[in-house]
Amino acid sequence: DTEVTQTPKHLVMGMTNKKSLKCEQHMGHRAMYWYKQKAKKPPELMFVYSYEKLSINESVPSRFSPECPNSSLLNLHLHALQPEDSALYLCASSQGGGGTSNQPQHFGDGTRLSIL
């Protein structure tokens, strides 16, 4: 079991639905991340939160909206997704924060998202 918990594990949604992915960690980490991973590819960074503030947005379409309510929680709100958005969405966290955290990232097991 990982120390980064993601829910739900699986999600199927239509292109007009609104849903949210959730991530929780209790390791006291102050940096949290969202990644997208397609089959047979490495994870691609989407967003970085540092001390609950958005510090990096890798030019992700606005149909993905991140939120960090507190230091332990990270959400990803989804709206009007496209079939090509079907992927494994991974959350990660690391110690420290700011823009210079060189600590390793710890990943959850992801949410497998399918867009119909």
When asked if residue 41 is in the footprint of other proteins (CB under 8 A), the reply is yes
Nearest CB to other proteins, comparing residues 42 and 83: 42
> The tokens of 20 are what?
């949210």
Q: Which stretch binds other proteins (CB under 8 A): 14-22, 40-48, 65-73, 78-86?
A: 40-48
Choosing from 47, 66, 108, 115, the residue that interacts with other proteins (CB under 8 A) is 108
Nearest CB to other proteins, comparing residues 44 and 67: 44
Using alpha carbons, list the distances in angstroms from residue 115 to 11, 14, 35, 94: 8, 6, 17, 30
Count of positions on this chain that bind other proteins (CB under 8 A) = 32
3-state secondary structure of 17: coil
Please give the Cα distance from 5 to 8 (Å, whole number). Answer: 9
Nearest CB to other proteins, comparing residues 2 and 14: 2
Please give the Cα distance from 58 to 63 (Å, whole number). Answer: 13
